[in-house]
Chains A and B, each alone.
Chain A
Amino acid sequence: MRSPIRRLLLVAALCLPLAARAQLTIEIVGGAGTAIPIAVVAFEGESGFPLGVSGIVAADLERSGLFRPVDASGVVPRPSRAEDVRVDVFRGRGADAVVVGSMQPIGEGRVDVRYALVDAVRGATLASTRYVVTPAQFRATAHKIADEIYEKLTGDVGVFSTRIAYIAKQGTRYQLIVADADGADPQTIVSTDEPLLSPRWSPDGTRLAYVSLEQRKPVVYVQNLANGARTPIAAFRGSNSSPAWSPDGRTVAVTLTRDGGSQLFLMNADGTGLRRIMTSPGADTEAWFMPDGRSLLFTSDRGGSPQIYRVGVDGGGVERLTFDGSYNVTPRALPDGKGMVFVRRDGNRFQVAIMDFATRQTQILTGGPLDESPSVAPNGKLILYANEANGRGILNAVSADGRVKQRIVAPAADVREPAWGPLPR
């Protein structure tokens, strides 16, 4: 199963040539065994606008790997409201669910966008919503509709309205880019000739922390996405790296070497109030807050090889979590706090794995050999990670059960260090 979804470059992207060339294209390379067949009918009135909504909804759903598109063309008369849907017609095409809708101009540049989700098996209307928006909001509206459909049919929160951040390298230029979760509308947030890494979203989605080597050493910055203003929150003697936000957005954990060795510290998000978490006999780094904010996961070589541990924010209760293998790194807590995603090395193969804390069972999700930097979607269902294909850095996504797989490439850039942003508030 291989169905590339080609995305049009937006007019906005033409104004951002660097970011545009680093725009992502997403291909589904493996789907769930039980994808829901869904027919998304072109919305009535849609052809009167340069950007339709139904196509984006269908693409979102298909890309999740949990839905299989069913051809909805040629149904006469074409339904646009729930009551017009003849479920037998769509059942005949194999659809379990049908999406219909309309787009009507209502003056002053505003458009009335309506959609309905119909259960074709039982004939019930599962959702019916109206939005009054401007054409500039069509894309966001489509993602919102896809989120609602996803939640109605899977029971999980949709993440189509979220954003992602990633690093693109083109020639000698490094860019930190923020884009919609489907790769659309890429915007360059930082551009420099020195490496950038470790982008991390603040929990409210308004700021990004990241590490830049532009001062000839790793320095941690926090940058406001609304105005581009940035603060070097950790620029101490030695190396400053691996930022992680607390769930309340007030505290950032960092790895500093200012007092000797790589050690974990906490600081306020403006760089004040520095305090060391503990004194480690080894190198500690890659701190990641648990969702309750009370403890952190981190990587340490204190036991002789890099392994994942947990520690209370007060430095107490250190507990080792990984024992299998000689290299377990990059812990990322799941949003429900019941497990984590991490990277393990098996021989020369680096793979993304997921651990359930209750059972300590580990499942390997990816094939390697150079998988790194996993980032979990805010619904916990999909994991972005980086690796290489044909000598170029690409991003990938895998579902938390390992079944859905996507490959995400940029046409003219090395892309790496994905970071999935929070749910919109």
Chain B
Amino acid sequence: MNRLIVAAAFVALLAGCQTQPTTQTAAPVEDRSAAGSTTPGGASTAGAGTGSVSGSQQGATRSGTTGNPLRDPASPLSKRVVFFDFDSFAVRDEFRPLIEAHGRYLAQNRNARMTIQGNTDERGSREYNIALGQKRADAVKRMMTLLGAQDGQIETVSFGKEKPKNAGHDEASWAENRRDDIVYAGE
């Protein structure tokens, strides 16, 4: 997927978070009409009696960043995927250096913001898999906050089994799909 769209959506989300109301008030309604017709996600809606209008979406444009440690292939910060075992949200030892690098980066860069996106394989309930993916994202966030990252720097979300990296139906494919993806704001 287009990372620029990811970034645009993420910035919009963060903006929304800052005005998040607390309990007993209305859920925030993100006004996406201000962004014109190029809203991320590009959903079109219709009533049941009115037929459908198909929407198109366009990517936003943005100037690239160079010399960024997050992009340096030699840096552990360029690694963004943490894999998990079946039905598990325990972080495997092999991913600790990666997670520690990101945790330290957040601790040293207080303006940096990231989303950790939890994912599962295709087996089981879609909604329970959202909860399981959330546990995977939360597990990695917990490790990063122990290393000094602030709670407000990391949003954890889950895609459940809805966004597999590998569309296959075997253990090798499933292993690729049981993962957290780390996405920084502005990327």
A interface with B by C-beta (< 8 Å): 15-16, 18-19, 163, 175, 178, 187-195, 197-198, 212-218, 223-239, 241-242, 255, 257-258, 260-262, 267, 270-276, 283-286, 299, 301, 306, 327, 329-330, 343, 345, 348, 350, 370, 372-373, 391, 417
B116-137: which residues lie under 8 A (CB-CB) from chain A? Answer: 117, 122-128, 130-135
Q: Is the CB of B138 within 8 A of A226?
A: no
A255 to chain B: which residues have CB within 8 Å?
127, 130-131
A274-B46 CB under 8 A given contacts A241-B130, A286-B127, A350-B123:
no
B133-187: which residues lie under 8 A (CB-CB) from chain A? Answer: 133-135, 138, 155-160, 162-163, 169
- The segment out of B15-23, B68-76, B97-105 that lies at the interface is B15-23
B134 to chain A: which residues have CB within 8 Å?
238-239, 257, 261-262, 283
**Which residue of chain A has its CB nearest to the CB of B20?**
A237
A226 to chain B: which residues have CB within 8 Å?
47-49
In the bound assembly, the distance between CA atoms of A217 and B40 in angstroms comes to 12
Cross-interface CB contact of A216 among B13, B20, B124, B127, cutoff 8 Å: B13
In the bound assembly, the distance between CA atoms of A212 and B45 in angstroms comes to 12
**Which residue of chain B has its CB nearest to the CB of A242?**
B127
Additional A-B contact list (12), CB under 8 Å, known A198-B127, A216-B13, A217-B115: A175-B52, A189-B46, A189-B52, A195-B162, A215-B30, A217-B155, A218-B160, A235-B30, A236-B28, A237-B20, A241-B158, A262-B134
B47 to chain A: which residues have CB within 8 Å?
189, 224-228
Closest-CB distance, B175 to chain A (whole angstroms)? 15
In the bound assembly, the distance between CA atoms of A256 and B133 in angstroms comes to 13
Q: Is the CB of B127 within 8 A of A228?
A: no
Q: Is the CB of A225 within 8 A of B48?
A: yes
Q: Is the CB of A192 within 8 A of B44?
A: yes
B44 to chain A: which residues have CB within 8 Å?
190-192
In the bound assembly, the distance between CA atoms of A241 and B155 in angstroms comes to 16
Closest-CB distance, B80 to chain A (whole angstroms)? 15
In the bound assembly, the distance between CA atoms of A234 and B121 in angstroms comes to 25
A198 to chain B: which residues have CB within 8 Å?
126-127
Q: Is the CB of A218 within 8 A of B157?
A: yes
In the bound assembly, the distance between CA atoms of A284 and B45 in angstroms comes to 30
- What are 17 A-B interface contacts by the 8 Å CB criterion? A187-B48, A188-B51, A189-B52, A190-B44, A193-B42, A215-B30, A217-B13, A218-B157, A224-B47, A233-B27, A237-B155, A241-B130, A242-B130, A261-B134, A275-B24, A306-B125, A330-B125
In the bound assembly, the distance between CA atoms of A223 and B9 in angstroms comes to 21
Q: Is the CB of B125 within 8 A of A286?
A: yes
**Which residue of chain B has its CB nearest to the CB of A227?**
B47
In the bound assembly, the distance between CA atoms of A192 and B131 in angstroms comes to 23
A348 to chain B: which residues have CB within 8 Å?
123
Q: Is the CB of A260 within 8 A of B26?
A: no
Q: Is the CB of A260 within 8 A of B138?
A: yes
B9 to chain A: which residues have CB within 8 Å?
215-216
B135 to chain A: which residues have CB within 8 Å?
261-262, 283
Q: Is the CB of A197 within 8 A of B6?
A: no
Q: Is the CB of A299 within 8 A of B128?
A: yes
Q: Is the CB of A370 within 8 A of B52?
A: no
A283 to chain B: which residues have CB within 8 Å?
131-132, 134-135
B65 touches A (CB below 8 Å): no
In the bound assembly, the distance between CA atoms of A193 and B138 in angstroms comes to 26
B131 to chain A: which residues have CB within 8 Å?
241, 255, 262, 283-285, 299, 301
In the bound assembly, the distance between CA atoms of A286 and B156 in angstroms comes to 19
Closest-CB distance, B123 to chain A (whole angstroms)? 7
A236-B128 CB under 8 A given contacts A187-B46, A225-B48:
no
A271 to chain B: which residues have CB within 8 Å?
26-27, 29
Q: Is the CB of B127 within 8 A of A237?
A: no
Q: Is the CB of B157 within 8 A of A238?
A: yes
**Which residue of chain B has its CB nearest to the CB of A267?**
B27
A229 to chain B: which residues have CB within 8 Å?
45
Closest-CB distance, B27 to chain A (whole angstroms)? 4
Cross-interface CB contact of B124 among A197, A231, A234, A345, cutoff 8 Å: A345
